[in-house]
Amino acid sequence: MSTPDVTVTVIVYNDAERLTRAVDSVRRQTHVGLEIIISDDHSTDATPAVARRLAAEDPRIRHLRLERNSGGCSAPRNRALEIARAPLLMFLDSDDELPDNAVELLLAAHREREIDFAMGAVQRIRVDNGRRSTWMPHLVAERRTLEGIEADPRLLFEHLSTSKMYARAFLDRHDLRFPEGIHYEDQLFSVRAYCLAKAFTIIPEPVYRWYVAPFAASDAASISNQRHKLANVRDRIHVQHLIDRFLAESGHESLREDKDHKFLKHDFRMYAGDLPYRDEEWLTSFADLVTPYLDTLTPGAFARLPRAERVVLQLIRDRRLAEAGTAARGLGHGVAPRQVTTDEEGRTYWGDRIPPTAWSRRELDLSDLELDTRPFPAAQFRHEITEITRGPGASVDLTIRTYDPALRLPVGPQRATLLIAPGGRRLHVAFRLSPVGPGLFEGHAHLDLAAASLPIQGFAGIRHPLLRLHHRGLTNTGLLLAPLVFPALTARVPHHRLTVEPEGHGPGRLQVRWEPVGVTAKVIRPMVRRVARPRVKRAARLLASALK
């Protein structure tokens, strides 16, 4: 058998259902000179039988089964490396896919000039709604060859090992293998590859399809989605220490601030969004784990973060854990704190006290946000639903509290509107917010979702109500936060099943879900989706009118 040009290793553990899809994406490659190794981490389901069937169907496929389960991705990849016959290597997870021309594109980059690895764009696909996006698009926007990571340290954010094609000689020369016995092995492996490579090429075309299941059950979630486990936090911190040690020992200490910024902006940020959903015991253990490591990071890495993220970090370090959860709600959406405090010099700080240390004052100083002077449309408020009561039909009654920490609103009743737009058609609900204290307003709104106008083909999707304030001819629109937990409310509206529920992640907004049913789901929506000519579209509209 001739030597293949590229070996693609597909690692798998108890994933019989998706393994065929992953392997078939490799078999469909436009470049056929491949070796495919299915590296099974001692699965206990039907995976071995699926792998044997695939190997029998295609002589390019080899089935490798580990003698015992390793509990991670490293050992299956390393064992496959030991038997791989090609001079170029790629890795694929069993729940993902390769685009049909991925191997051809990356192989062309290697043949164009001598490089240690080539990398391309990663397409993220949400399994719950099918939405597609590019992972770190700004890093792969153009074709370029870099001679060392120092040319663009931002690439430390692109830490996936699966979006790259490596020269086997490069990996062997530096004994570059995946660290076994730990999770987040990709981060250490990729940092080492970036730092050790003399040259690598980036191409803008997609070379990997990463299927993301953000709401998977905890026992089925990917390692990166198991953030509720404190062991997950320990593994991330452990890998960061290993990366720091490597940078120091390999002469790449100049990258430390960029690497620390990546940890704060990416790794810590993933946990920050979940903090409102954690109990006091978990938060205490989390602070115990992360604070000692945060104390080792370079000051410049903190300074590069948005102010809202620095506030959450500092509240964790100051053990103001409940406040950290409050601050974490609405990160990136311009949500104000409930309260601020001003010192004698006019500096404004998060919360109800002036921080005790110079470092805390620096990190919790909100003066640069100009809460009291920015134009009203960009002013920051905080809107929270404090009570939800089911009304008749598909309606809910909401008690809403608005915090105005900078006292931007005049004393007295305020005009407000709830906005929600299913299918691009906006529903407005006007109500009044009345003052109940300095910088604090409260009101009641009746939201009848049956009044929302839906398109003829119905609407399938999720929307979150917004709150709009009106003041002197100007408007300000902001997030409306909901209780983190409350019983879901279900109702029927014309041709739809409607659910009002907690968002359950991120800011924690009020979430409204529409699901078409009956004729709308089975006939009208498929017909409208297939419409290609105006005449057919008119017929679909007539049918919709007749059926409704």
pLDDT one-digit tens code per residue, 328-373 = 998 989 999 999 999 999 999 999 999 999 999 999 999 999 999 9
Number of residues in the chain? 548
pLDDT one-digit tens code per residue, 204-227 = 999 999 999 875 544 444 555 577
pLDDT one-digit tens code per residue, 57-113 = 999 999 999 999 998 999 999 999 999 999 999 999 999 999 999 999 999 999 999
Backbone angles phi, psi at 443, to 5 degrees: -155, 175
Q: Which residue has the tokens 């929270």?
A: 384
Would the CA dihedral through 198, 203, 209, 210 be positive or negative? Answer: positive
3-state class of 93 per DSSP?
Answer: strand
DSSP 122-184: EEEEETTT--EEEESGGGSSS-EEESSGGG-GGGGG---STTEEEEHHHHHHTT--PPTTSS-
Phi/psi-derived region of residue 389, left when phi > 0, alpha when psi is between -120 and 50, beta in every other case: beta
pLDDT one-digit tens code per residue, 3-50 = 999 999 999 999 999 999 999 999 999 999 999 999 999 999 999 999
8, 447, 493 from 458: Cα distances, Å: 44, 20, 11
Backbone angles phi, psi at 498, to 5 degrees: -115, 135
Exposure class string for 63-77: b at 16+ Cβ within 10 A, else e: bbbbeeebebbbbbb
CATH superfamily of 6-212: Spore Coat Polysaccharide Biosynthesis Protein SpsA; Chain A (3.90.550.10)
DSSP 303-314: HTS-HHHHHHHH
Q: Which residue has the tokens 């980036």?
A: 202
Per-domain residue ranges of the chain: 6-212, 227-369, 377-516
136, 138, 261, 275 from 269: Cα distances, Å: 15, 19, 11, 10
Please classify residue 225 by burial: count the beta carbons closer than 10 Å to its beta carbon, then call 0-12 exposed, 13-18 middle and 19+ buried: middle
Contact 163/200 with Cβ under 8 angstroms? Answer: no
Q: Helices 321-328 and 307-317 sit at what angle, rounded to 10 degrees?
A: 160
Query: How is residue 118 written in tokens?
Result: 């080539």
Contact 349/341 with Cβ under 8 angstroms? Answer: yes
Query: How is residue 414 written in tokens?
Result: 């305020």
Quick one: how far is CA 310 from the chain centroid? 19
pLDDT one-digit tens code per residue, 101-149 = 999 999 999 999 999 999 999 999 998 878 899 999 999 999 999 999 9
pTM for the structure as a whole: 0.89
Q: Which CATH architecture has domain 377-516?
A: Sandwich (2.60)
Above 70 in pLDDT, residue 480? yes
